[in-house]
Structure 1
Amino acid sequence: MNAFKSIYLFLLAAVAGIELFSGIVVASAVFYTPLSLEDTPVIDFFGRGLIMGQIFYKLAFVILAVSLFSVIYELFALRQNYTKFEKILKILLVLAILALSLLFLFYYTQPMVYLQTEILQGIKSVDVLASDEFKTLHKQSELCVKVLLVLQVILFFLSYKSVKKEYN
């Protein structure tokens, strides 16, 4: 069980790190691309959105996979010597993380990527991206990932704390 616990902690930390890196470093690098010699962007705003859309779409699958692993691990870990409060808290956390992971992938990321595809195919205009509806959806997706990250970090430290208890 200790090997699985180590893998579990590694995956939780890794996915949180990837989310932070994607949001802080990758997004700023993509959306603030260098200018060409004529002071025009190398990639237009829509192109930057396409790149970020694909990055977050692929990231959403990684987040979902780690969330599913978390649920499975925590269900098996219920047999360990945790307090009733710790068991309930961990189960609630993994279920909330799973729900937010599913929400991020299927409610936010997939529709945005689909919308980008429709724009590329000429079905919809790029003006759709300036609509209040799209802006609201985008802001909600950012909030979803932030809440997801906070819950993952809380779960990581709760799980790490219980690892220290096991070894001491």
Structure 2
Amino acid sequence: MPKSTSKTIYGVPNSGWTSPSWNWGSASGTGHDCAKICRQTYSTKEVRLNLINSLILSDETAKAIDFEEVKLVMALAWQNGRWDGSDGGVGGYGDVLSMMANAKRYEENVEDGKTLLFRDMQERFHLLDPNNEDEIMMKQLLDNSDNNDIDIDTTLRCCSGLVLKAMGFIQNG
């Protein structure tokens, strides 16, 4: 049976995608509380640029960031992207957000969930019209992901940075 873990974001009790108090998309609940903290944390272009660069380079700063926070950053960007079109449109990252909010596909089995999230993000990357260099980097991540020795956490962080960059997160938040 898959292992389910309850995760906490920003130290907010009863937060995380599987928490019954999370209420993603609602104006109340721990999801709303965490989103407020996240928006404040990433309110400047400089901070957003540093996040993306750290994720892409998978440096020590990126490793120190709880990946649940990264998922929340992406979820907020994807949610906003539904309105401004930066999520890739039909079949884009809004679909990944829906699966994330469902709290099953990526949460029930942590390692498999990370691999599934990477694959779901990678297969939509072309919808964001990324620059050639970033497209090559994403392809290398995919090519390397078939290796059993791959560090899925590092791969997923780099993929997340590439997606946020291609969405215009630095400029638009």
**TM-score normalised by length of structure 2:** 0.35
**TM-score normalised by length of structure 1:** 0.36
- Larger proportion of helix: 1
